[in-house]
Amino acid sequence: MRTGLIRSRNFVMAAWATAALWSASSAEASSDLNLRLRRVVQNSPISINNVTWCILDSNGAPLSEHNASRPMKPASTMKLLTTAAAFEHLPAFYRTKLWAHESEAGTVLRWVGAGDPMMGDPGPLNDNRVPGTLLGQLATEIRRSGVTEVIRLEYDDSYFQSPRYHPNWDSEQFSKSYRCESSALNFAGNLVRLELHPRSIKPRLELFPSEASEIIVLQDKFTDLRTTREKDLVGFDRHRGRNEFRAWGVCRNQHVLESPVHDPSRWAAELLATRLRMEGIVVLQVTPAQSIDNPPQGNPIPTATINTPLFRVAQHCNTNSRNLYAECLLKSVDRQLGGDGTWLASGPDNRTAGERLFHALSTLFPEAMGSGDVIDDGSGLSHENRLSARTLARILCQAQSREWYPEWLQTLAVGRKSGTLANRFRSKAFGHCVVRGKSGYIDGVSTLAGRVDQDDDQHLFFAIMVKDVKSSRDAKKLHESILAEAIQVLPRASESNASTNIGQSHTWPTQSALSKAPPTRPTPKALPHPNGEQLRTDTNPMPSGSEGKMILTGTAVALIVLGIRLR
């Protein structure tokens, strides 16, 4: 008995000594890293007073911090918070339904928006055929349901409340392609895409979706090349408050231009009505829903329900930094948490969507949110947003405890490979690493936050924020220099963990597991097609080699776009 007590006491003392040694070693490494990172900044053209960072190890312990609690404009790293909340609170699919009701006067169709920002968007595949193909399939399914004449096509966007354009965004930039209006019913990314094909006099103009040529006004203001020697310079914008567009300039090369539409819900309904008419189905009127009843009268057309995986929306929100996607996700979360799907104060607690998101994240990730943090929108476009580097790094770390974490991690851009990081982290310093992250830039502020994985499954979390940026290139170079220095502590952490973590098992996904991890959310099975065949469906909303292919099934074209499908 006494021998056992002595052994136990010796074990505790040994463990205490080992822990103390590791703590001292960790503190020494942290101090050394702080000095090295300061030296990195001092050797750059950026003042250290304009830089904040927070770098955490895999368990959330600080490896290095500098002004980490100082709130700054997060730019697009705000999307990390929005997508995390979306995975926590939203269902696995957006479902947009088309209802048919036989009134005394005839058939009434109602297209009910659910907030899906990806429906008919050519952007993820960079394929102009996407919106037209999806409209064509919808028209086919409507005809198959027996509809030959529509007295009224109603669009119901009541799931989100106004405004469609954020009140704190620059009102003069409403025509910028990255500042789309957001609605509960969106189509084709709420953008008109214009392709310019140069000719000897003026360019040939090609609109996408092609149906848009019937519902918008386009003014051709291009200069006759016979009258000028000016260099190639073109533009495409919209008049305020109406879908009248202007294309202008000197066109000597091929271009693809985009401009956001006004009133996205009506835009979507008018596109569908145009396609129905092209298919021989009479549509007499397109109007807002006359009465917002729940559920609508009649029944949904089963094969005309569009299902979009939440994973795909979050993936393109983060990887390609789609602002429309982020705002629709925020409004959707707002609805789920008791709001009215609006940026403004609403609901029983009279909170804005940003305040409601802040509260939800504070509950989900204790001690992650700081007192100076402010969430004003979902994308980071608002200049009222404020986050600290510590907030971003802690959320990235604490999210490991959630079951959706592997999916969320895969929505981030990957250095050297994808999205906004495809051309970054190409130096040899990152040859043995995978850098996943979200970058951001807004008016002199450059930010980056994410996770770095090494080949030996060691990883760290980081957030770096730089303000008063005069050169975006200098800021990006500083991001990478700081990370290149920080990852050098990982091998030492690995050696130390080998001696102190004996008998412990880590539950975080390894690098190989992340690339193979299946989705944690259920996916619906393929349903039979009305003609007796089965529509091919992507039963796995994670990336696959077959994404974006179009196939024929009978007389219908089934659009397999990133898991989006008709049901």
What pLDDT score does 491 carry?
A: 61
Instruction: Name residues whose C-beta falls within 8 Å of residue 243's C-beta, 6 or more positions apart in sequence.
Output: 215, 216, 217, 261, 262, 263, 267
**Confidence check: pLDDT of 9 > 60:** no
**Confidence check: pLDDT of 25 > 60:** no
Query: Which one, of 508, 449, 481, 544, lies nearest residue 78 by Cα?
Result: 449
Q: What is the pLDDT of residues 268-280, one digit of tens each?
A: 999 999 999 999 9
Q: What is the pLDDT of residues 290-303, one digit of tens each?
A: 877 667 889 999 99
What would the mean pLDDT of 7-23 be, rounded to a whole number?
42
**Confidence check: pLDDT of 191 > 70:** yes
pTM of structure: 0.85
More confident residue, 139 or 291: 139
Angstrom distance (rounded) from CA 472 to CA 398: 30
Rounded-to-10 torsion of CA 508, 512, 514, 515? 180
What pLDDT score does 305 carry?
A: 96
What would the mean pLDDT of 537-562 be, rounded to a whole number?
37
**Regarding beta strands 413-414 and 433-442, do their DSSP bridges make them parallel or antiparallel, or are they unpaired?**
antiparallel
What pLDDT score does 293 carry?
A: 67
Angstrom distance (rounded) from CA 463 to CA 420: 16
Q: Which helix (H) or strand (E) holds 231?
A: none
Residue with tokens 């040529």: 213
What pLDDT score does 198 carry?
A: 96
The residue type found at 306 is: I
Q: What is the pLDDT of residues 465-478, one digit of tens each?
A: 999 999 999 999 99
Tell me what percent of the residues of the chain surpass a pLDDT of 90. Answer: 77
Angstrom distance (rounded) from CA 222 to CA 203: 8
**Confidence check: pLDDT of 285 > 60:** yes
**Confidence check: pLDDT of 177 > 60:** yes
Three state DSSP letters for 363-400: HHCCCCCCCCCECCCCCCCCCCCEECHHHHHHHHHHHH
What pLDDT score does 456 carry?
A: 76
**Confidence check: pLDDT of 261 > 90:** yes
Contact by Cβ (8 Å): 55, 488: no
- The answer to which of 25-39, 328-342, 539-553 has the lowest mean pLDDT is 539-553
Rounded-to-10 torsion of CA 512, 514, 516, 517? 140
What would the mean pLDDT of 154-172 be, rounded to a whole number?
96
- The boundaries of every CATH 3.40.710.10 domain in the chain are 5-87+311-516
Query: Which one, of 447, 462, 436, lies nearest residue 380 by Cα?
Result: 447
Confidence label for 29 from pLDDT (cuts 50, 70 and 90):
low
**Confidence check: pLDDT of 499 > 80:** no
Other Cβ atoms less than 10 A from the Cβ of 175: the count is 17
Query: Which one, of 38, 453, 459, 389, lies nearest residue 30 by Cα?
Result: 38
What pLDDT score does 125 carry?
A: 87
Q: What is the pLDDT of residues 64-118, one digit of tens each?
A: 999 999 999 999 999 999 999 999 999 999 999 999 999 999 999 999 999 999 9
**Confidence check: pLDDT of 16 > 80:** no
What pLDDT score does 86 carry?
A: 98
What would the mean pLDDT of 23-34 be, rounded to a whole number?
65
Angstrom distance (rounded) from CA 399 to CA 408: 9
More confident residue, 3 or 261: 261
What would the mean pLDDT of 20-30 be, rounded to a whole number?
51
What pLDDT score does 567 carry?
A: 64
Other Cβ atoms less than 10 A from the Cβ of 33: the count is 20
Contact by Cβ (8 Å): 167, 311: no
For the chain, the straight-line distance linking the first and the last C-alpha, in angstroms and rounded, comes to 70
What would the mean pLDDT of 158-169 be, rounded to a whole number?
97
For the chain, the average pLDDT equals 85
What would the mean pLDDT of 5-10 be, rounded to a whole number?
42
Q: What is the pLDDT of residues 387-446, one digit of tens each?
A: 999 999 999 999 999 999 999 999 999 999 999 999 999 999 999 999 999 999 999 999
What pLDDT score does 30 carry?
A: 67
**Confidence check: pLDDT of 137 > 90:** yes
**Confidence check: pLDDT of 560 > 80:** no
What would the mean pLDDT of 543-548 be, rounded to a whole number?
36
7: left (phi over 0), alpha (psi -120 to 50) or beta: alpha
- Tell the CATH topology of 5-87+311-516: Beta-lactamase (3.40.710)
